[in-house]
Amino acid sequence: MAVEDVLRLLTTNPVYRDRVVHTHILESETPHYGTLDTSLPDSITSYLDQHGIRLYTHQCDAINRIRAGKNVILTTPTASGKTLAFNIPVFTALNSDPDARALYLYPTKALSNDQLGTLEEMAHYTGISAKPAIYDGDTTQSRRAAIRDNSRIIISNPYEIHHVLSWHMKWRLLFANLRYIVIDEAHRYRGVFGSHIAMLIRRLSRLCLHYGSRPQFILSTATLANPVEFSCRLTGHQFELVDGNGSPHGRKHFVLYNPFYDGVGERSAHEETKDLLVSCVKNDLQTLCFTGSRKMAELVTLWAREDARRSSAQLADAICAYRAGYLPEDRRAIEAHLKDGAMKGVVSTNALELGIDIGSLDAVIISGYPGTMMSTWQQAGRAGRKGDVSLALLVAQANPLDQYFMNHPEQFFSRSNEHAIVDTENPYILSGHLLCAAAELPLREDKDRVFFGDSFPQLLPELASTDLVRKTARGWVYSGRGRAAELVSLGGIPGETFRIMCHGKMLETMDRAQAYREAHNGAILLHQGEMFLVKEMDLETHTVRVTEADVDYYTQPLKEVNLTVIEMIETREVNGVKCAFGVVEVTEQYTGYKIKRGDTILGIEPLTLPPLTFRTKAFWLIPSSDTEQNVLKRDLDFAGGLHGAEHALISLMPLHVMCDRWDIGGLSSAAYGENREPVIFVYDGYEGGIGLAEKAYEILNDLFATAHALVRDCRCDEGCPSCIYSPKCGNDNQPLDKIATVLILNDLCKEPEKSDSAGYVDAGGAVLS
């Protein structure tokens, strides 16, 4: 058996042996079938019979709860039959109530198309008149009215719904009779985007209520730590969780592979990936390899083919790259060759983890942790077909998250720690959707609190002051000049946008903060893994001009951060350490940038950019004076310890709160504010805050413990990129003191030995004023 051969190679080959730090076996499972509380309509039963489908436990559980009127969130893995679990109750409802309708929301067009096919087939087979149809930007004008009036299952996406809601008169039939809102892939709606979608769903619910329906919600997500909380935040309703997977799967060997096991790493993670890929392919395993960027996908492919050519030209030709830019016919050829077995190894970027249509393979190699455990498991889920044994390999990079998992495999294979965040209180996001809502129906300060929260009326006078809304006897009426839905883009926090232009073509847009950070004059900008040199940043026209660059250096901006506490919302004590959560005002001033090759500084250039000021939410902690004494008496650098602890906390935030470390900022000081107290701040890098620091504040114990373990267990002596060095540090990782960091983090994780509860000093009050 080929998988066993590769496993044997991994344990016997002296190079591989050292790097395989953990092998976890996920045992095969036989199917578990469930029973339904009430029988299904005959047409659906015969549909299932004819397709030879017997319902698994989790499918029955979901169907039973949905039919009992509950909002349900399903978190079982891909290919476990989630779609059927929500299609059955939807069709059952359409069958018994000829007016009933359902709305399916998908994040991408490809997914909408797949679902349309499934629904059409089911409607055809059962004879239930669902008339499923996609209604999105591609729907022709001539078909729109008929779909609105006749289709009882409408498939759409959030962008379309955002623009459709103000036309609610035309959608009366849907809104008056909407029984189910199905939101598939709901985990995509997290962070800033998720916060927008949460508001959009509230606007949708508000219109349903206006026309007399109260639809039930059915959500599906990948594995999360907080599915029930997440779905409640996203929709504003209570949910029941269905998570026990009854579908069968084969045995899977999951290998954690650490090129940096010795703290050095002779070769790059990408070269190691190439070796593993060639070994898999040589052993006749069809293998899918995921890399962090398009360029890496190309390079790994190139190297792997060169390597394989030494064995045989045929083997070399059986390895190829698969990426977004390829023509459909090229993709189809690759897919066909995978099916007929001619293609053995395919290298792709993380971005394609869902869009790729190549079914399941024998082995998956994940080169570098893709940012979330959720994505990791989705990628690993590509390995294993028809109950066969399969292999998944995670190749670690030299960064704190990857290295944390390598040193703590039990964390990786335990249940998810990742919380998906949706913030319904960011005033910038909320106010935009209030404008849209006021353009849909007059906003009522009393009645609309259920949708927009108790404090939304406070925002209205602010919007009225610039004539965007007008107070009338019927409520607040939108009176802005442009279409409200056009003002609000679901992607970001409203603000200025900078356009990144390369030879007159726009590469991407960025907000001001990101542009200052990544696209200042002279910066080497990474866009989809490609390098560009910034020629000019025009602050007047918000345009950044770049050209392609092929250089062996990178740039790192230097900035000074100032932070003022505006309001302390909550305080708590964690292991005797004073912690707080509140609103802060952050001022970031970019002063220059370093040009670096590896760790060598080639030069430092000054920058003159105006300071950036924004209000956001933060948590902060004040290490005890015992900790300070403890560090100082050993003649260690306290400020360096605080700084290291700040970096460690930020680097492990994504382990607990689904985000990118770039979404978060930090500040530490050994003597902050009037009281000259030591402090570490961690804040959301977005105007108004997006709930990251807020969630972290709830789970500080876990965050402290993992950050401590990360630094303690790192094999380096003085700190390294795998523990306390930060790639985004504005102070160029100065000062840092690893031993002091461990001492400080250690004190954050354990109850103080003698309880010196001299009373809690109001930290926020102290630094205020």
Partner 1 sequence: MTATHAPTRIGDLWHQRMQTLKEYEVVRDGNIFGAGFSNSVVFSSEYEQARQQLDHLLSSYQNRSFEKVFSGKEISNDCGTCFSLTTTHPIHPPAFDLTYYRNTIIRDLTLVRGIGRETEKQLRARGYQTLYDLAGHPKYRSHVQPVIDCTSREDSYDIIDLVGKRHAKSHPLVLGAAGLHEHEDYVFLDIETMGLFSRPIILFGIGVMKNRALDVHQYLLSDIDEEQAALYETISHLSGGRKALVTFNGKAFDLPYINDRLGYYGMNIPAITRIPHFDVLHFSRRRWRNQFPSLRLTALEREILHIYREDDIPGQMVPEFYETYLRTGNCGPLVPIVEHNRQDILSLALLFFHLMGESYGC
Nearer Cβ to partner 1 (303/428): 428
Is 480 among the residues that bind partner 1 (CB under 8 A)? yes
- The CA-to-CA distance between both ends of the chain, in Å, stands at 70
Rounded Cα gap, residues 476 and 703, in angstroms? 43
Rounded Cα gap, residues 480 and 477, in angstroms? 9
Minimum distance between the CB of residue 214 and partner 1, rounded to whole angstroms?
17
Nearer Cβ to partner 1 (6/463): 463
Say how many residues make up the chain: 769
Minimum distance between the CB of residue 487 and partner 1, rounded to whole angstroms?
5
Within its chain, how far is the Cα of 342 from the centroid? Answer: 35
Place of tokens 């790639």: 727
Is 612 among the residues that bind partner 1 (CB under 8 A)? no
With contacts defined by CB under 8 A, name the span among 27-35, 164-172, 213-221, 586-594 that binds partner 1. Answer: 164-172
Is 486 among the residues that bind partner 1 (CB under 8 A)? yes
Minimum distance between the CB of residue 210 and partner 1, rounded to whole angstroms?
7
With contacts defined by CB under 8 A, name the span among 150-158, 160-168, 709-717, 743-751 that binds partner 1. Answer: 160-168
Nearer Cβ to partner 1 (149/467): 467
Is 494 among the residues that bind partner 1 (CB under 8 A)? yes
Q: Which of 80, 156, 166, 627 is the binder for partner 1 (CB under 8 A)?
A: 166
Minimum distance between the CB of residue 242 and partner 1, rounded to whole angstroms?
29
Is 467 among the residues that bind partner 1 (CB under 8 A)? yes
Here the tokens at position 686 are: 């977005």
Is 502 among the residues that bind partner 1 (CB under 8 A)? no
Q: CB within 8 A of 508, min separation 6: which ones? A: 500, 527
Minimum distance between the CB of residue 459 and partner 1, rounded to whole angstroms?
5
Minimum distance between the CB of residue 612 and partner 1, rounded to whole angstroms?
13
Cβ-in-10-Å burial (0-12, 13-18, 19+) of 592 comes to middle
Beta strands in 117-265 (DSSP E): 133-134, 153-156, 178-183, 216-220, 240-242, 252-257
Is 472 among the residues that bind partner 1 (CB under 8 A)? yes
DSSP secondary-structure letter at 293?
A: S
Site for partner 1 in 213-242 (CB under 8 A): none
With contacts defined by CB under 8 A, name the span among 97-105, 387-395, 467-475, 554-562 that binds partner 1. Answer: 467-475
Is 169 among the residues that bind partner 1 (CB under 8 A)? yes
Q: Residues 345-379, buried b or exposed e (16+ Cβ, 10 A)?
A: bbbbbbbbbbebebebbbbbbbbbbbbbbbbbbbb
Minimum distance between the CB of residue 227 and partner 1, rounded to whole angstroms?
21
Site map 563..602 versus partner 1, x via CB under 8 A: ----x-x-------------x-------------------
Q: Which of 19, 162, 294, 617 is the binder for partner 1 (CB under 8 A)?
A: 617
Q: Which of 440, 448, 628, 646 is the binder for partner 1 (CB under 8 A)?
A: 440
Minimum distance between the CB of residue 389 and partner 1, rounded to whole angstroms?
49
Is 458 among the residues that bind partner 1 (CB under 8 A)? yes
Check: CB of residue 646 under 8 Å from CB of residue 680: yes
Is 210 among the residues that bind partner 1 (CB under 8 A)? yes
Is 209 among the residues that bind partner 1 (CB under 8 A)? no
Q: What DSSP string runs through 311-332?
A: T-HHHHHTEEEE-TTS-HHHHH
Q: Which of 35, 140, 141, 466 is the binder for partner 1 (CB under 8 A)?
A: 466
Minimum distance between the CB of residue 147 and partner 1, rounded to whole angstroms?
18
Here the tokens at position 516 are: 């200052």
Minimum distance between the CB of residue 690 and partner 1, rounded to whole angstroms?
12
Place of tokens 């036309």: 167
Is 688 among the residues that bind partner 1 (CB under 8 A)? yes
Give, in order, the Cα–Cα distances in Å from 232 to each of 120, 242, 430, 499. Answer: 30, 14, 17, 36
With contacts defined by CB under 8 A, name the span among 90-98, 106-114, 357-365, 439-447 that binds partner 1. Answer: 439-447
Q: Which of 31, 117, 263, 495 is the binder for partner 1 (CB under 8 A)?
A: 495
Is 254 among the residues that bind partner 1 (CB under 8 A)? no
Q: Which of 477, 531, 533, 768 is the binder for partner 1 (CB under 8 A)?
A: 477
Nearer Cβ to partner 1 (583/736): 583
E strand or H helix that includes residue 590: strand 577-597
Give, in order, the Cα–Cα distances in Å from 753 to each of 635, 638, 707. Answer: 22, 21, 21
Nearer Cβ to partner 1 (33/167): 167
Cβ-in-10-Å burial (0-12, 13-18, 19+) of 74 comes to buried
Nearer Cβ to partner 1 (203/249): 203
Q: Which of 697, 648, 618 is nearest to 419 (CA)?
A: 697
Check: CB of residue 136 under 8 Å from CB of residue 157: yes
Minimum distance between the CB of residue 350 and partner 1, rounded to whole angstroms?
33
Q: Residues 427-438, buried b or exposed e (16+ Cβ, 10 A)?
A: bbbbbbbbbbbb
Nearer Cβ to partner 1 (468/670): 468
Nearer Cβ to partner 1 (58/168): 168
With contacts defined by CB under 8 A, name the span among 329-337, 352-360, 372-380, 451-459 that binds partner 1. Answer: 451-459
Nearer Cβ to partner 1 (150/458): 458
Is 481 among the residues that bind partner 1 (CB under 8 A)? yes
Nearer Cβ to partner 1 (369/581): 581
Is 499 among the residues that bind partner 1 (CB under 8 A)? no
Phi, psi of 729 (to 5 degrees): -70, 130
Site for partner 1 in 379-438 (CB under 8 A): 425, 427-428, 431-432, 435
Is 34 among the residues that bind partner 1 (CB under 8 A)? no
Q: Which of 578, 583, 587, 585 is nearest to 567 (CA)?
A: 583
Side-chain half-sphere CA neighbours of 128 within 13 A: 33
Q: Would you say the C-alpha torsion 272, 275, 279, 280 has a positive or negative sign?
A: positive
Minimum distance between the CB of residue 429 and partner 1, rounded to whole angstroms?
11
Q: Which of 300, 463, 664, 723 is the binder for partner 1 (CB under 8 A)?
A: 463
**Count of residues of this chain found to bind partner 1 when the rule CB under 8 A is applied:** 53
Is 539 among the residues that bind partner 1 (CB under 8 A)? no
Q: Residues 719-747, buried b or exposed e (16+ Cβ, 10 A)?
A: bbbbbbbbebbbeebeebbbbbbbbbbeb
Collapsed DSSP state (helix, strand, coil) of residue 20? strand
Q: Which of 273, 248, 502, 283 is nearest to 396 (CA)?
A: 273
Minimum distance between the CB of residue 479 and partner 1, rounded to whole angstroms?
5
Nearer Cβ to partner 1 (474/634): 474
Cβ-in-10-Å burial (0-12, 13-18, 19+) of 465 comes to exposed
Minimum distance between the CB of residue 211 and partner 1, rounded to whole angstroms?
10
Rounded Cα gap, residues 651 and 465, in angstroms? 41
Which residues of the chain form contacts with partner 1 (CB under 8 A)?
166-169, 172, 210, 425, 427-428, 431-432, 435, 439-442, 453, 455, 458-459, 462-468, 470-474, 477-487, 494-495, 567, 569, 583, 615, 617, 688-689, 694
